[in-house]
Amino acid sequence: MTLLELQRRMEQDVRRPLTAELTMQLRTSEGESMEEIAATYIRANSELTSFERLEIYNRQYWLRVIGAVSEDYPALQALVGAESFDALVLEYLKQRPSSSWTLRDLSADLPQFLKRYPEFAGEQYQLAVDITRLEWVYVEAFDGAQIEPLASDELARLGPESALALQPHLRLLAVDYPVDEFVLAVKKLERKAVTSGAAQLRQTSITSTLPEMTPEQRYLAVHRYDDVVYYRTLEEGEFRLLEALRQGKTIAEAVDILAGAEQLTTVQQTFALAAELGWFCHPTL
């Protein structure tokens, strides 16, 4: 076996999915014995067999990637419970293994994955999906680009046919539950757990302290300000106006989406808010 063949063999076996009990599989999908395979390139010692030595690397690889996904979705874990969450993440990673140089991208498809497999969330499926969507855009807002915002004099020169871009880190989200309150409550409990020395936030210790969720249409802006991510509730008109500008519509086209007596007030409120927080920038940038 050449060095390259050894490296590829090791990579294949280390990345082999774990069992539901988080142990190494005894056989490959083709029925080959992993004990026999391990013995061909790993030497046993006085303490461990070849298979047991390989299993250490296999389990550590998977525990690391499972942990990376878990760090991005603490509120989802709090909602569905540790057992269901672990099963969801393990199945997700089996179907969507790591393919990027950065762990940041590993959990990007989890919201869509949960939509396809609602059984992991049971009766709280829609709430779970909304929570997952919000937790992922938090990641995007945290490390999204920051472009020089338009200055006040540049904003003053805008006309009806002007187009605007929104900051890359700004995310707009329409949800069916007030999940921003739920996610913030979990983050608060996480900070408390860290301060008190608790090893891990688990469902059994926080169920009674999390807010109850009832359906409520909510429009959110998730953005970064001074290196901190914030959730801001928008009125529907503000959301629709910003979303239209995000899609590349001119100011006149975006305003035409609104109707009724509140049109002028909505435009004024939206532009004042966006200007204050530096959300507007040149589309050419």
Compute the distance between CA of residue 282 and CA of residue 147 in angstroms, rounded to an integer.
9
Q: What is the pLDDT of residues 59-106, one digit of tens each?
A: 999 999 888 999 999 999 999 998 899 889 989 998 988 888 888 999
Q: What is the pLDDT of residues 225-251, one digit of tens each?
A: 999 999 999 999 999 999 999 999 999
pLDDT at 265: 87
Domain 148-178+218-285 has CATH 3.30.1370: no
Domain boundaries, the chain: 1-72, 73-90+101-143+179-212, 148-178+218-285
Q: How many CA atoms lie within 13 A of 76 on its CB side?
A: 30
Q: Which two tokens stand for residue 254?
A: 């975006």
Tokens 């990345």 correspond to 15
**Inter-residue contact 37 to 28 (CB < 8 Å):** yes
H or E element at residue 224 = strand 218-225
Most confident of 16-25, 50-59, 93-102: 50-59
Q: Provide mean pLDDT across the span 265-277.
A: 92
Instruction: Give the N- to C-terminal CA distance of the chain in Å, as an integer.
Output: 52
The mean predicted confidence, pLDDT, of the chain is 90
Q: What is the SS3 assignment for 174? A: strand
Pick from 69, 14, 64, 4: nearest CA to 37: 14
Q: What is the SS3 assignment for 97? A: coil
Answer whether residue 165 shows pLDDT above 80: yes
Tokens 């950065």 correspond to 102
Compute the distance between CA of residue 96 and CA of residue 69 in angstroms, rounded to an integer.
12
Please count the residues of the chain: 285
**Inter-residue contact 239 to 230 (CB < 8 Å):** no
In eight-state DSSP terms, residue 158 is -
Q: What is the SS3 assignment for 231? A: strand
Q: What is the pLDDT of residues 113-158, one digit of tens each?
A: 999 999 999 899 999 999 999 999 999 999 999 999 999 999 999 9
The angle formed by the CA atoms of residues 200, 89 and 227, to the nearest 5 degrees, is: 60
pLDDT at 258: 86
Burial of 264 (0-12, 13-18, 19+ CB in 10 A): exposed
Q: Amino acid identity, residue 173?
A: L
